A = this chain, B = another copy of it.
């Protein structure tokens, strides 16, 4: 029996304990975007560091201006050297009333089709995912006494709110963190049976905008017809961001956005993603994206504008005839290609300012401005990973772009000179960022096995 076979067999025998260890982490409500959960974020960091310690890593909790970063070093062989990146923070849970069970009380459930799932906030994004790698390392350590790779693990706590402090942390600790390759487990399968390697990520700009008109809330009979209404302004200004072809109208928005080469586009079209298969499961029929684009382009290689939240005026039960003094919205943009985050952020702010009367005020806040990332198809790690994923799943891995963003992966390239191998086991129906988030037990189990295979392939050089 090869080492790999022994490790895989151990993973299978120990899967219930792996699930227990994941549950312990899932119980910690490490919501990064809300300051009320700062203590839980710290607790999660300490838990991860302690867990890495149990498999022989030198691990510590490193402070930042925000939530801490966990750095662990395997302290065994020197090469090949990989930097594994994950995040212990999770999305907010709201709306809480739509969760069937409490979001931080993890449980196993069985779907009507017989699939077993792990249900909790973070079960997929990212705790379940990064634990597939940790558990693979644990299996190696348990079976062979060591890891065949030099692993530095960097598990941060602010990915869900823009990783604001991480670029600085990476720069400040570049010598310690630089490796031959970055590994990331925070992306998706192509479908439940087909693994994927993610070769591009969209960038993300996240803005908050607050418009203030009168210095207080007003009676809409007394002042209606004369007083400016900030909700009306917000609706008009934000609504103007798209034209009738669903293209974003902000000046310069499409600078740096290239059309796909014909062959790549043909490959993507051949994957056969349709409105029915993609939108049907969420109760929609028609794409709201740029007219004239393939659906797969719209969700991976085209940029977007989005209103993530809006609030103003009276939102309680019944009626209140008020003209509010202020209204706010959260607006984000997914970037592709060479779009410049700083320029687009300024162009958005100018777009808003230009449409406001001079007696109204606007305030902006920013929660991130990261560029898109395109990885090379030539990387030997990618070729090896494709092969061993095929061995695990019985189907060749698809190479595809992701619609989402992982801000720090760009810095791995620009600051540390590293490519990233992004392999993940999420499914489209995992409800990440939604109530009742889940992770298929099969994805967790085979994810651990997949990383064991990838570690073995990378170690062989």
Interface bits A277-304 vs B (CB < 8 Å: 1, else 0): 0110011111111100001001100111
Which residue of B160, B202, B227 is within 8 Å of A282 (Cβ)?
Answer: B227
Q: Are A315 and B309 in contact (CB under 8 A)?
A: yes
Q: Are A284 and B433 in contact (CB under 8 A)?
A: no
Bound state CA distance, A162 and B320, in angstroms? 10
Which residue of B162, B303, B310, B357 is within 8 Å of A231 (Cβ)?
Answer: B310
Taking CB atoms and an 8 Å cut-off, the chain A residues in 205-223 that contact chain B are 206, 213-223
Number of copies of this kind of chain in the complex: 2
Q: Are B428 and A222 in contact (CB under 8 A)?
A: yes
Chain B neighbourhood of A403, CB < 8 A: 221-225
Q: Are B334 and A330 in contact (CB under 8 A)?
A: no
- Would you give the shortest CB distance from A95 to chain B, in whole angstroms? 8
Task: Select the residue from A282, A320, A357 with max chain B CB neighbours within 10 A.
Answer: A320
Bound state CA distance, A316 and B434, in angstroms? 15
Within 8 Å of chain B (Cβ to Cβ): is A405?
yes
Interface bits A221-239 vs B (CB < 8 Å: 1, else 0): 1111111110110111011
> Given A216-B434, A295-B226, A314-B92, does the pair A308, B288 have CB atoms closer than 8 Å?
no
Q: Are B434 and A219 in contact (CB under 8 A)?
A: yes
Bound state CA distance, A17 and B150, in angstroms? 85
Interface bits A71-110 vs B (CB < 8 Å: 1, else 0): 0000000000000000000011011001000000000000
Bound state CA distance, A227 and B330, in angstroms? 17
Q: Are B286 and A308 in contact (CB under 8 A)?
A: no
Within 8 Å of chain B (Cβ to Cβ): is A339?
no
Q: Are B231 and A307 in contact (CB under 8 A)?
A: yes
Within 8 Å of chain B (Cβ to Cβ): is A374?
no
Which residue of B278, B304, B334, B359 is within 8 Å of A285 (Cβ)?
Answer: B359
- Would you give the shortest CB distance from A10 to chain B, in whole angstroms? 33
Task: Select the residue from A304, A310, A332 with max chain B CB neighbours within 10 A.
Answer: A310
Bound state CA distance, A215 and B284, in angstroms? 8
Q: Which residue of B is nearest A298, CB measured?
A: B225
Chain B neighbourhood of A295, CB < 8 A: 226
Within 8 Å of chain B (Cβ to Cβ): is A381?
no
Q: Are B310 and A327 in contact (CB under 8 A)?
A: yes
Q: Are A218 and B320 in contact (CB under 8 A)?
A: no
Q: Are B321 and A94 in contact (CB under 8 A)?
A: no
Q: Is the interface of A mostly helix, strand, loop or mixed?
A: loop
Task: Select the residue from A33, A224, A231, A234 with max chain B CB neighbours within 10 A.
Answer: A224
Q: Are B315 and A33 in contact (CB under 8 A)?
A: no
Taking CB atoms and an 8 Å cut-off, the chain A residues in 418-449 that contact chain B are 428, 431-435
Interface bits A47-79 vs B (CB < 8 Å: 1, else 0): 000000000000000000000000000000000
- Would you give the shortest CB distance from A405 to chain B, in whole angstroms? 6
Taking CB atoms and an 8 Å cut-off, the chain A residues in 15-37 that contact chain B are 32-36
Within 8 Å of chain B (Cβ to Cβ): is A204?
yes
Within 8 Å of chain B (Cβ to Cβ): is A167?
no
Which residue of B92, B239, B322 is within 8 Å of A433 (Cβ)?
Answer: B322
29 sample A-B contacts, Cβ–Cβ < 8 Å, listed by A number: A33-B316, A33-B320, A94-B316, A206-B321, A213-B283, A214-B282, A217-B433, A219-B433, A221-B404, A222-B432, A223-B282, A223-B403, A224-B334, A225-B290, A225-B299, A225-B302, A226-B288, A226-B299, A231-B308, A231-B310, A231-B329, A232-B242, A235-B239, A236-B242, A238-B239, A239-B239, A285-B358, A315-B330, A319-B368
